Amino acid sequence: MTPKLMRKYHDKGIFTVRQLSHIYKPRRSRKKGKRPVRHSLELQALSIRTGKIHVEHLPELPRNPIGLILDFEGVPDRDFNYLAGVLVCKGSEKEYEPFWADDVAGEEAMWSALVDRLESFPDTPIFHYGNYEAKVIATLSKRYGKGTGLKDRLVNMATFVYGKVYFPVRSNGLKSLGRNLGATWSDPKASGLQSLVWRHHWEMSKSSLFKEFLLQYNQEDCEAVRLLIVRLDQISRDAASDPTIEFANRLKRHATETGKVIHGQFERILTSAHEDSAWRGIHLREPSPQEGGASKKQEKWKGHQQFRRIVPQASRTVSVEAKQRCPRHDLPLVPNPKAPVERTVVDLVFTKSGCRKTVTKHVGTKSRCPTCGDRDQYNPPSFRGSQRYAFGHGLQSWAIYQRVVLRLPYEIIVQVMEHLFGIGLCTTSLVDFVGNLAGYYASTEADILHAILKSHFVHVDETKINIQGVDHYVWVFTDGKHVVFRITETREADIVREVLAGYQGVLVSDFYPGYDSMPCRQQKCLVHLIRDINDELWKSPFDNELESFAVAVQALLVSILVEVDRYGLKAWHLHKFIKDVDQFYKRHIFGKEYTSEPSKLFQKRFERYRESLFTFLTQDGIPWENNMAERTIRQLAVQRKISGTFFKRVAPQYLLLLAISQTCRFQGKSFLKFLLSKETDLASFRRTKPIRYSYPVAKQNADPSHDDGEG
């Protein structure tokens, strides 16, 4: 546990391992997606308190009749490896073989002998603990051109422990785990650091005693890895029955045979007692092994009932024109009266007084090409696909407005549509609406991005979202009038360089290091800097050095921001503060020796971002804060709290529509009216005049007894 993390727990009133263990809460399971592995300190503390092994993921070790365990000893600062120990395990038999190098010149012979011995056991996994062995093998194989295939056989046992199996120990180091599993070391001070001391004494005296110490230490390390392999293999087989093992996500429940029958009967009753049990019935019969063996998904799919949508009665009929020319031969098409087609479209029509539902039947005929014959017949241009029932643009726009702006769940939108308009549809249709309109307005997003790239400055920020149990990152780009979102699987800033390729303006961002690689000029958010200094001063109220530093920063920034408030972001009025900034750096940054850790950190930040903290003093209209990006991304943060998780296919489409919605909001335009207009050029779409719903009343004529609540 790092000192920073310890302070975090101390702020919450947690000071002991026992207190830490009581705040453990199992992570919520995800139906889809692979959950990233992370180490839980709370679960580690719980294992220490209970003295039991807690399993998050059951280990699955590679199986082989022969096991090879490898451990290296070396001198890292000299890049020299002098000892490789191999423990060969065949059933209950084990044999230790050391490979020794007296000096650097003997390292190649030691490596060659080790490779020959390991290659005598082809396709046998090589177990080790930690990353050191993998790094040594990669280095020596590259240095001497031998043993390049060994890295594919390595099995790092630390990956089966970290975040997966929690032993009742305070560290996942090999010494702590080994002692818990029964491993012993001849010297109680045995460690990697002590091995360097023994090696130094051996080189100075050539005493066989120190060499024996090293060989014994290496063999005991291999034995500890062997015990760990045996224990993990036992856990994978006996976790359900071993009383010393608990599962992290659910505690074991112990009961007699009679108690198991009672629990099973009661649980089936409780499972059946839900809202729709009136028509499903209560199932008390225990499922047979055949029934229990099939997965729920397979059973549901096997008996899945198919449905066909009921086409509503149309209120009017419209004749549509047949297709005129063949797309293959560019010849006139001949209408075929014997092949009539029709489509019923349900839509919402919006007027000044409200909206109403319309059901329109479109009828027409197919057309055929004289060259192609009857084998290829074409529907009218207004007919897309072969569906006989479709939803119009107005209805889809209304549904998207409910989803994006009002943030309603799909299930609620379905209910509202049924109650208000008598339109029945499923949530899958709403997801299709998102994809349809995202494709329709793809050119709108391209125009928005083009406008952002022409602006003098761009705000950038990122936030985390959950995609079916896996963390992804959403990036926002905005100039205060236009918004674009992008989604990535990692927090790498490559997407910023891709979106802003060739941009010549100023990038306004926080202090995330990924933005530093952008070739354009930058302005770092001073709000983040002020907030960090303020928070650190609250944490260390008696740090006089930090307090003096904060006073100097305050004096500099307050004078600048007073001018910004008076004259705006005009370089004509702000460039005079460049001298004050230079004086601040001379007095408090360059060559200044600080003793407190927070002051050192802020000094380094000021030094690193010298050229990007005060860009707004030299250019007109450059914001000194990144609040616009945070304001833009707040809508997504609220939706993230409501939805919890997103689907990977729909998330980019939703973000495209959300970006258009945010752009409309910043420009004072109605997102719903823009969708209903069917226009794709947002720049030419005019703002609508707001509805006037009140008028001012003179105070002397107002009657308090007739207050209608309007202001």
Whether the pLDDT of residue 375 is over 70: the answer is no
pLDDT at position 560, please? 94
Alpha carbon distance 447, 185 (integer Å): 69
Whether the pLDDT of residue 407 is over 50: the answer is yes
Cα→Cα distances 673→26, 347, 632, 685, Å = 46, 15, 21, 10
CATH number at residue 220: 3.30.420.10
Domain assignment present for residue 264? The answer is no
Domain assignment present for residue 599? The answer is yes
Alpha carbon distance 500, 521 (integer Å): 12
In this prediction, residues 323-347 reach a mean pLDDT of 77
Of the ranges 133-137, 279-283, 388-392, 613-617, which one carries the lowest mean pLDDT score? 279-283
Domain assignment present for residue 280? The answer is no
Domain assignment present for residue 278? The answer is no
Is the domain of 517 the same as that of 530?
no
In this prediction, residues 299-328 reach a mean pLDDT of 73
Extended beta strands in 289-416, E state: 316-319, 334-351, 354-369, 373-378, 389-391
> For residue 514, what are the β-bridge partners?
none
Is the domain of 320 the same as that of 410?
no
Is the domain of 412 the same as that of 441?
yes
Count up the domains in the chain and report the number. 5
Percent of residues, the chain, with pLDDT higher than 70: 89
Among 391, 415, 444, give the residue marking a domain's end: 391
Whether the pLDDT of residue 577 is over 90: the answer is yes
326 SS3 class: coil
pLDDT at position 644, please? 85
Whether the pLDDT of residue 472 is over 60: the answer is yes
What does the mean pLDDT of the chain come to? 87
Among 214, 238, 262, give the residue marking a domain's end: 238
- Helix ranges restricted to H, 239-358: 257-272, 277-280, 289-293, 296-302
| Bigger pLDDT: 627 vs 285 | 627
CB 107 within 8 A of CB 80: yes
Alpha carbon distance 42, 166 (integer Å): 10
Cα→Cα distances 233→104, 161, 629, Å = 39, 12, 51
Is the whole model's pTM more than 0.85, yes or no? no
DSSP state of 71: E
Report which secondary-structure segment, H or E, holds 97: strand 93-100
CB 528 within 8 A of CB 511: yes
Alpha carbon distance 253, 240 (integer Å): 10
Alpha carbon distance 483, 127 (integer Å): 52
In this prediction, residues 260-288 reach a mean pLDDT of 67
In this prediction, residues 190-215 reach a mean pLDDT of 92
Domain assignment present for residue 111? The answer is yes
Domain assignment present for residue 384? The answer is yes
Is the domain of 463 the same as that of 353?
no
Is the domain of 173 the same as that of 92?
yes
Alpha carbon distance 605, 530 (integer Å): 12
Is the domain of 420 the same as that of 478?
yes
Q: DSSP for 580-602?
A: HHHHHHHHHTTT----SHHHHHH
In this prediction, residues 258-284 reach a mean pLDDT of 69
Is the domain of 142 the same as that of 211?
yes
Of the ranges 295-299, 389-393, 579-583, 600-604, which one carries the lowest mean pLDDT score? 295-299
Whether the pLDDT of residue 323 is over 80: the answer is no
Domain assignment present for residue 286? The answer is no
Q: How many residues does the chain have?
A: 711
In this prediction, residues 276-291 reach a mean pLDDT of 56
Scored b (16 or more CB within 10 A) or e, 442-480 reads eebbebbbebbbebebbbbbbbebbbbbbebbbbbbbbb
Is the domain of 229 the same as that of 104?
yes
Whether the pLDDT of residue 631 is over 70: the answer is yes
Q: How confident is the model at residue 289 (pLDDT cuts 50, 70, 90)?
A: low
Is the domain of 95 the same as that of 174?
yes
pLDDT at position 296, please? 46
* Residue-wise pLDDT tens digits, 442-465: 999 999 999 999 999 999 999 999
Is the domain of 562 the same as that of 650?
no
In this prediction, residues 362-370 reach a mean pLDDT of 79
Report which secondary-structure segment, H or E, holds 70: strand 66-75
Among 391, 425, 456, give the residue marking a domain's end: 391
CB 658 within 8 A of CB 675: no
379 SS3 class: coil
Containing structural domain, residue 488? 398-522+628-677
Report which secondary-structure segment, H or E, holds 520: none
Beta strand 80-90 with 93-100 is antiparallel
Is the domain of 604 the same as that of 633?
no
Q: Which two tokens stand for residue 474?
A: 């959403």
Whether the pLDDT of residue 595 is over 50: the answer is yes
Cα→Cα distances 4→8, 20, 309, 313, Å = 6, 16, 59, 68
Domain assignment present for residue 256? The answer is no
pLDDT at position 249, please? 81
pLDDT at position 294, please? 45
In this prediction, residues 362-388 reach a mean pLDDT of 69
Is the domain of 436 the same as that of 541?
no
